[in-house]
A and B are shown apart, each in its own frame.
Chain A
Amino acid sequence: MSSRILNWFKFSSPATFYPLAGKIQKVAAAIAVVLLAIGLYMSFFVAPTDYKQGEGYRIIFIHVPSAWMSMFIYVVMAFWAAMGLVFRTRLSFMMARALAPTGALMTFIALWTGAFWGKPMWGTWWVWDARLTSELILFFLYIGYIALQGAIPDVRRGDRAGAILLLVGVVNIPIIYFSVKWWNTLHQGASVSITKGSSMSTIMLETMLIMTFAFWAYAIAVAMARVRLIILERERETRWVAELAEVRG
């Protein structure tokens, strides 16, 4: 095999990926802390009061980033599931497992902040609206994935079963995204789109984008930390784990 392919697979072995994940984790964690500090400051002290919703709209600065993250993390997990099934690289399955709790957390935050925003603005904590319902299904998919893998003792079969569940569930993501257009129930349409720019005031949009990048960095840092844990767990019998500085101690 040409060296280029070998090189590409170099990081697919847990032993070589473990230190790299550690570095990524540190950098991502630092970025997350800095961006969260800036983003939170802007959310409360820079972004102006909304003419209609007053201060209540500030919930957007965590509701939208967490909702985007809930969908994005699921797509990344489905990607790793597909990679794992095609290339049989077990590290891909580990990456999907590492992202699941954070994806579930982001989905919960999106649902929670949505309800706390909906109560004052729509007058209700919950309504069986197309967007809310499909986001709730996404939450159940995450919980189902975690529960399924918890229930299968054999790691390999758990990886495979989880990957299949992920790929089946990925159809839900476009449904969530387009639900506001197709069914046009209560949740408003997208006010930010890659093609048409945004209908938000620039300072509000900038604040929200900074918070989005902060949530990205947070999710990467947490996922790297968790994948290192999974690697240590699965490779506990190996020599390279025994040789690790933190284990030799």
Chain B
Amino acid sequence: MDSIKDFFHMGGYALYVWGSFGVTALLMVAEPLVLVARRREMIRRLRRLIRLQSEQSS
């Protein structure tokens, strides 16, 4: 158990090391997730657009 506590302690630099790695990880996970969500939204919009066009033309 002790080694894990030591690990997170980072020789006393815990705030700085985890503050850096934490925010970086947060951003580099959030950005792809935002893109996945925007892609799903875009495809839904495209399908609605096509349905509208086919209704108008029929």
Contact = CB atoms under 8 A, between A and B. Distances in A.
B33 to A, nearest CB: 11
Interface residues of B, number: 27
Interface of A: 29, 44, 49, 54-56, 58-59, 62-63, 66, 101-102, 105, 108-109, 112-113, 116-117, 119-120, 218, 221-222, 225-226, 228-229, 232-233, 236, 241-242, 246-247, 249
A109 B28 CA distance: 10
Given A59-B16, A241-B46, A249-B47, A109 B24 contact: yes
Contacts of B50: 242, 247
Given A116-B16, A116-B20, A232-B42, A54 B31 contact: no
A149 B31 CA distance: 20
Interface string B1-23: 00000010011110111011101
A112 B20 contact: yes
Given A63-B20, A242-B46, A242-B50, A229 B13 contact: no
Given A225-B32, A232-B46, A247-B47, A54 B13 contact: yes
A55 B43 contact: no
Contacts of B19: 116
Given A108-B27, A109-B23, A112-B23, A55 B17 contact: yes
A236 B49 contact: yes
Nearest to A228: B39
30 contacts: A44-B7, A54-B12, A54-B13, A56-B10, A56-B11, A56-B16, A58-B10, A59-B16, A59-B20, A62-B20, A63-B20, A101-B31, A105-B28, A112-B20, A112-B23, A113-B23, A113-B24, A116-B16, A116-B17, A117-B20, A120-B13, A222-B35, A225-B39, A228-B39, A229-B42, A242-B46, A246-B43, A247-B43, A247-B47, A247-B50
B46 A236 contact: yes
Contacts of B31: 101-102, 105, 222
Given A236-B46, A236-B49, A62 B10 contact: no
A46 to B, nearest CB: 14
Nearest to B50: A242
Nearest to A55: B11
A63 B19 CA distance: 12
A116 B15 CA distance: 8
